[in-house]
Amino acid sequence: MQKFPKFSSNTWLEDSYTKPKDFWQELFSVENKRFSAHSCPFNGYNFYYDLVLRHTSNKKKVAFYYYNQKWQQLSYYNLHMQVEHLALQWRSSGVKAGSIMCIVLPMGPKLVVAIMTALKLGLIFSVLVPQGQAFIMNRLTNLTPEHIFTNKIFHLWLKDFKEQILPDDVEVQGQFDFSAHIYKSGEALGMFFSSVRKDCTQPIPLLCDQAYLYALRDGLLTFALHKQQHFVDSEVDFFQYQPYLLLMSLLFGRSYVYLQINQVKEQPKLLNTYKNSLLFIPRKLRELLLEAPKVKLKNCTLWVKSAIESIDLARWIQFSSELKLQEVECCNIVAEAAWGGCVLASRRKDLLNIELQPCAGVPWKMENLSEEVINSSVGFFVAEGMNKGDGSLGSLLLMKNQTYWRYTMTDFPSRSGFTWPIEEVISMVEELDFVYACSFAISLEIELGQQYSYILVIFTGVKTKKMLSENKNKWTQEIKNVINLQLGSNYLPNTIEFFPLVPHKKEEKTDHKWCQGQFFSKKLHFKMNNKTFDLLANIQELAYQRCDEK
């Protein structure tokens, strides 16, 4: 490959795994010839200059497009000016480099300004989109930020953290300081929550080296952003991909185009607004475009899909055919913002692309399924910095297909690649008056493209059989409402099942393994219609009540 003269054109990818530092230095030098950067790999990273300041010479160059009844834009120059004002406010409020800041805002221009301000000041930042009060509070409790930046509309949600909320009416002191913080190699840049980790409620530290270098590699090699003008995002999963995609787009001086999925539903042609566009196609956008009147994506020069979100190949073939994308390059990726970028990616090529290769510059290995099962063509992909079975993307099961790999599944249940926060859901549902106890069951649905289906198992107590038959629909809606409002619509179960019974308990807690065994064996369904078990369940419930009283 001519761009990497220190590496053989045939073995540069393999060499990058064994000599990663040489690869990163060479990659940086290639891109730095086009746009002079103020960062130096493995030394220090001036994110604010490289992402914003070096693109401000053209005052009309657009950093961020968004749609609100009409197209609106934020230029790199105006982004810079807004960042300077906000940085002055934050400094006046006592914000210092190294502080942990949580930004609680929806995707939009204010969030972009806040993230760039955090980078300018050298903060360790995290971002939470406000999709539910319990969702936000649970994660803030785990993060324990020193500062929170948000809109007044969310202050009531954050009442337990009111001391950390930055004021809007702070008296500004001092003058603009156009210098920017340089993150030293090895320093943390962010603490991000991930929707694809086994535990999606814990923040994951991201080092500045990964954040910068992975964005540089992916923008240059995976997405070829030097060829694209716009990066179009129609509501990709925020906690899997942001702020990684945004940082990568700005690093290459591209225009990031944000559209809400409902806006595309109403006007699919919005996707064709800007020429020479890279279009990210999450599963929900694919389904929307297949069901809507067909729109030819005439300005799409590269489309990207997630390998872990959906493996229903027939549906992707239908999508590429009906939207006339067979001759447009496609890229298949496994990426995570908390990791810093892509873990696995394919080459850009025409027609549907399902292949995957470990991304350049990161040593990796394949681990056996178990000590008993040894197979060179299938195993767990583990990149350096990951561990098999740790609930990260190191738990990906891959299958060898000639010269490339193909994603199969994770070693823990996920739906469309995303984790279902079972404990959070159960704790919310058990607060409802009609719920005696709540458990869950998980089944693998082959017809859904080998996706897991989540079943919420509701126990209402033995004396509620008649009440259940009269209120089942109402209670179902109440459960959906509380999950939607407190945690977000992504966490709704596939199915809700009610049983006028009480579950077994283990150490005074619902025994979920017992519940799952009883559910899948249909014993719960049998017991709810059996008079003998009604009597036994009454005795059991009375015993539990007396134990609780003690």
The pLDDT score that the predictor gives to residue 527 is: 79
At which residue do the structure tokens 């490289």 appear? 50
Q: Would the pLDDT of 5 be above 50?
A: no
The pLDDT score that the predictor gives to residue 241 is: 96
Question: Do 64 and 213 share a structural domain?
Answer: no
CATH number at residue 72: 3.40.50.980
Q: Would the pLDDT of 1 be above 50?
A: no
Collapsing DSSP to helix, strand or coil, 364 comes out as strand
Least confident of 123-137, 350-364, 490-504, 523-537: 523-537
| Domain range enclosing 101 | 35-185
Query: Of 350, 379, 412, which residue constitutes the final position of a domain?
Result: 412
pTM above 0.85, yes or no: yes
Q: Would the pLDDT of 352 be above 50?
A: yes
Q: Strands 44-45 and 183-184, how do they pair?
A: antiparallel
Measured between alpha carbons, how far is 342 from 249 in angstroms, rounded to an integer?
14
Mean pLDDT within 508-530: 87
Neighbours of 126 (CB within 10 A): 25
Measured between alpha carbons, how far is 456 from 496 in angstroms, rounded to an integer?
5
The pLDDT score that the predictor gives to residue 2 is: 37
CA distances from 185 to 46, 126, 217, 392 (A): 11, 19, 17, 23
Measured between alpha carbons, how far is 96 from 123 in angstroms, rounded to an integer?
7
- Choice between 36 and 128, residue whose per-residue pLDDT is larger: 128
Most confident stretch, 27-31, 241-245, 532-536:
241-245
Q: Is residue 202 part of a domain?
A: no
Query: Of 357, 391, 412, which residue constitutes the final position of a domain?
Result: 412
Question: Do 293 and 219 share a structural domain?
Answer: yes
β strands within 186-290, DSSP E = 188-192, 204-207, 230-233, 255-258, 277-280
- Choice between 229 and 47, residue whose per-residue pLDDT is larger: 47
Radius of gyration of the chain (CA): 25
**Number of C-alpha atoms within 13 angstroms, CB side, residue 130?**
19
Among residues of the chain, what percentage have pLDDT more than 90? 62
Residue count of the chain, please give it: 550
Q: What is the mean pLDDT of the chain?
A: 88
Name 64's bridge partners.
74, 256
Measured between alpha carbons, how far is 82 from 113 in angstroms, rounded to an integer?
7
Measured between alpha carbons, how far is 398 from 381 in angstroms, rounded to an integer?
7
Q: Is residue 113 part of a domain?
A: yes
Question: Do 463 and 399 share a structural domain?
Answer: no
The pLDDT score that the predictor gives to residue 535 is: 62
| Residue from 280, 239, 246, 243 nearest 419 by CA | 239
What is the arrangement of strands in the sheet containing 204-207, beginning at the earlier edge strand? 147-150, 100-104, 124-128, 188-192, 204-207
The pLDDT score that the predictor gives to residue 540 is: 58
Question: Do 391 and 280 share a structural domain?
Answer: yes
Question: Do 542 and 398 share a structural domain?
Answer: no
**pLDDT-derived band at 374, boundaries 50, 70, 90:** low
| Phi and psi at residue 546, to the nearest 5° | -70, -35
**Number of C-alpha atoms within 13 angstroms, CB side, residue 107?**
23
